[in-house]
Amino acid sequence: MKFLDNVKGIQIRGQIKDIYLLGAISGFIGVIAMDVLGLLLFATRKMELTYGHLTAGIFVRHLRPIRTKFRENFWLGEIFHIFNGMGLDVGIATFFKNTGKRFCLIKGLMLGGLIWQVLYGIGTSLGPLRVKPNLAKTHYSSLLINLLFGVVTSQAVVTLAHPSVFSGKQRQEKCSTFKELRSSYKDIPINEKAVDNLEQYTI
């Protein structure tokens, strides 16, 4: 295909050195992933609203919540949502710069859950968001979306980052998958003497 031939020479995998650019691009990728899932959940009635509707509430605080569903307000919310995700991921990229690439998926789940607690939990209950979701299924769907954001952005950071972003031994580290994490515990040496002593007390 001609299009693929034209972009074949573009290579950004492992080439981004600037931590802010790295975070912005990774965050944009993560936002796209979470929005795709959010639209699917919204279309199948698993959510009351999308993140575009939710963040649109910032701009219609003194108007009726139904106005967040107007197209012009929805796109304001969506733009805010995208830039918010890109800004958050600058912090995530800095986190990986300091902690290394190992277990990036587990770190991503942790960070996604933390973002859900702060932005969604506090934002909808005590924060500036005008729209207040009421159904439990929306809360669960929002948690799932944020976990996806954390995993996708974390993987994007370690994939796109230039080795110079990390220091020392961190440059040689890989983002361990859950399967590799499980196998690493199987390789832990077992004290055979302790096992023999334990067998004496088993029936």
- Distance, in Å, from the CA atom of 122 to the CA atom of 47, rounded to the nearest integer, reads 18
User: Would you say residue 44 has pLDDT above 50?
Assistant: yes
DSSP 118: I
* Displacement of CA 167 from its chain's centroid (Å): 23
- Distance, in Å, from the CA atom of 182 to the CA atom of 105, rounded to the nearest integer, reads 13
- Distance, in Å, from the CA atom of 102 to the CA atom of 177, rounded to the nearest integer, reads 9
User: Would you say residue 15 has pLDDT above 60?
Assistant: yes
Structure confidence at residue 6 (pLDDT): 44
Q: What is the pLDDT of residues 165-182, one digit of tens each?
A: 877 655 556 665 555 555
Domain ranges of the chain: 12-199
- Residue 20 in tokens: 């802010």
Residue 71 pLDDT level (bands cut at 50, 70, 90): confident
CA 160, 168, 164 angle in degrees (round to 5)?
A: 35
What average pLDDT does this structure show over 59-66? Answer: 59
Best CA proximity match to 34, nearest among 133, 142, 135: 142
Residue 33 pLDDT level (bands cut at 50, 70, 90): very high
130-163 b/e (C-beta count within 10 Å ≥ 16 → b): bbebeeeebbebbbbbbbbbbbbbbbbbbbbbee
User: Would you say residue 119 has pLDDT above 70?
Assistant: yes
